[in-house]
Chain A
Amino acid sequence: MTATTETQADLSAEIAKIEADAEGQTQEGKPSRQPLLDYPPYRSSILRHPTKDPRHADPETIELWAPCFGHSDVDPLEADLTIAGSNEPIGERITVSGRVLDGEGRPVRNQLVEIWQANSAGRYVHKREQHPAPLDPNFTGVGRCITDAEGRYRFQTIKPGPYPWGNHINAWRPAHIHFSLFGRAFTQRLITQMYFPSDPLFALDPIYQSITSQKDRDALVARYDHDLSVPEYSMGYSWDIVVTGPSRTWTEPEEGDL
Chain B
Amino acid sequence: MSTIPTQIASGSASATPGQTIGPFFGYALPYEGDADLVPPGSPGSIRLHGWVYDGAGNPIPDALLEIWQTDADGNVPQAEGSLHRDGWTFTGWGRAGTDLHGHYSFSTVLPGAAGEGRVPFFALTVFARGLLDKLQTRIYLPEHPANAGDPLLVSLSEDERATLVATADATGLRFDIHLQGDRETTFLNYG
Contact = CB atoms under 8 A, between A and B. Distances in A.
Asked if A pairs with B, the answer is yes
Contacts of B111: 62
A178 B17 contact: no
A161 interface: no
B24 interface: yes
A252 interface: yes
B47 interface: no
Contacts of B14: 215-216, 219, 242, 244
A118 B76 CA distance: 37
25 contacts: A48-B54, A48-B131, A50-B179, A50-B185, A55-B152, A55-B155, A55-B156, A61-B5, A62-B123, A67-B68, A67-B91, A70-B81, A72-B80, A73-B81, A104-B9, A114-B29, A116-B27, A128-B23, A128-B24, A140-B27, A144-B83, A180-B29, A207-B20, A245-B15, A252-B4
B82 A73 contact: yes
Interface string A148-190: 0000000000000000000000000000001010000011011
Contacts of B91: 67-68
A51 B184 contact: yes
Nearest to B66: A189
B138 interface: yes
B188 A55 contact: yes
B76 A61 contact: yes
A249 B7 CA distance: 6
B180 interface: yes
A242 B18 contact: no
A139 interface: no
A256 B76 CA distance: 24
A248 B6 contact: yes
Interface residues of A, number: 88
Interface string A51-69: 1101111111111111111
Contacts of B155: 55
Contacts of B184: 50-52
B134 A190 contact: yes
A79 to B, nearest CB: 14
A192 B56 contact: no
A131 interface: no
B16 A47 contact: no
B130 A56 contact: no
A255 interface: yes
Contact of B18 (A35, A49, A126): A35
B162 to A, nearest CB: 14
Given A47-B55, A246-B8, A248-B5, A70 B29 contact: no
